[in-house]
């Protein structure tokens, strides 16, 4: 990357990423598998909102993904606009063994784009690939929808772990790459704000305990 390495050890990023999709597609278990390497066979529906912060390292920098999970069922959901506020990434999840959850994807994308913006880095995730005999949505169909909507695509299993880390990493890496291009390739290393596009702004906060440069990228305000 074309930037002056002076500040690279002190950069710290926080990206808000939301999980959305119908009830019981496996959102909470994808998060549990990713954040704690756990799986719950009979997990209850999420009530309200939960989030977990997971540290990752990209290009030697520490990136924190703050991943938000809420209920797929309307009646258990918290205030929708607050859930999406500030999100820079999204995993839109369906269950490959239940076609109706795939048919709902358009509705989830509409909601995402109503409450955040078109530039949210989004991956379409077909979960439960371990249920091979019960498959109702082919990989090709998932791929085609993702291509038509301009989304990343991956099939996962929270049960056997396949592709779970890769799905989250794809989103985090892409957000990081967008920011790197916008922030570090600029000559102004002291930039306080960098646009992620369409009015979305990343604020690079000063750390009061550090006299070095910008410390934290908190995504995003509008
Ligand atoms: N076979 C299989 N079952 C899974 C997988 N992921 C989740 N499940 C099961 O699917 C059910 C629902 O999983 P959750 O993670 O609670 O689903 P959710 O999307 O968070 O549901 P809501 O909170 O209601 O929106 C649970 O019984 C899980 O054990 C998977 O990859 N494979």
Ligand 1 centroid–CA 24 distance in Å is 5
Confidence at residue 211, expressed as pLDDT on a 0 to 100 scale: 44
pLDDT in tens, the chain (222 residues): 333 444 444 446 889 999 999 999 999 999 999 999 999 988 888 777 888 999 998 888 888 999 999 888 876 666 688 889 889 999 999 999 999 999 999 999 999 999 986 789 999 999 999 999 999 999 999 999 999 999 999 999 999 999 999 999 999 999 988 887 765 444 344 334 444 544 444 544 434 444 444 334 444 444
Helix (H, G, I), strand (E, B) or coil at 136: coil
Given CA atoms 73, 141, 160, 112 in this order, what sign does their dihedral have? negative
Q: What whole-number distance in Å separates Cα of residue 25 and Cα of residue 133?
A: 17
- The complex scores an ipTM of 0.99
Tokens of 65: 């993904």
Q: Which atom of ligand 1 is nearest to the CA of 40?
A: 29
What's the gap in Å between 114 CA and the centre of ligand 1? 26
Residue with tokens 């939301």: 18
150 phi and psi, to 5 degrees? 70, 40
E strand map for 11-151? 12-20, 49-58, 61-70, 89-95, 121-127
Q: What share of the chain is helix, strand, coil (3-state, %, to 5)?
A: 30, 30, 40
Let me know how long the chain is: 222
CB 42 near ligand 1, within 6 Å: yes
pLDDT for 116 equals 86
């Amino acid at each position: 990357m074309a930037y002056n390495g002076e500040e690279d050890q002190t950069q710290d990023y926080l990206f808000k990423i939301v999980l959305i999709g119908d009830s019981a597609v496996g959102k909470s278990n994808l998060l549990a598998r990713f954040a704690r390497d756990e799986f719950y066979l009979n997990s209850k529906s999420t009530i309200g909102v939960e989030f977990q912060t997971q540290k990752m390292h990209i290009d030697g920098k520490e990136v924190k993904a703050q991943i938000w999970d809420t209920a797929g069922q309307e009646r258990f959901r918290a205030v929708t606009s607050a859930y999406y506020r500030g999100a820079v990434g999204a995993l839109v999840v369906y269950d490959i063994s239940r076609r109706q959850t795939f048919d709902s994807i358009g509705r989830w994308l509409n909601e995402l784009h109503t409450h955040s913006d078109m530039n949210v880095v989004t991956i379409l995730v077909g979960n439960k690939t371990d249920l091979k005999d019960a498959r109702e949505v082919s990989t090709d169909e998932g791929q085609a929808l993702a291509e038509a909507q301009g989304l990343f695509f991956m099939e996962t299993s929270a049960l056997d772990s396949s592709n779970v880390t890769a799905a989250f990493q794809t989103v985090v890496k892409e957000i990081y790459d967008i920011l790197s291009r916008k922030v570090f390739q600029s000559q102004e290393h002291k930039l306080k704000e960098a646009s992620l596009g369409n009015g979305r702004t990343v604020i690079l906060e000063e750390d009061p305990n550090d006299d070095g440069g910008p410390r934290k990228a908190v995504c995003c305000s509008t």
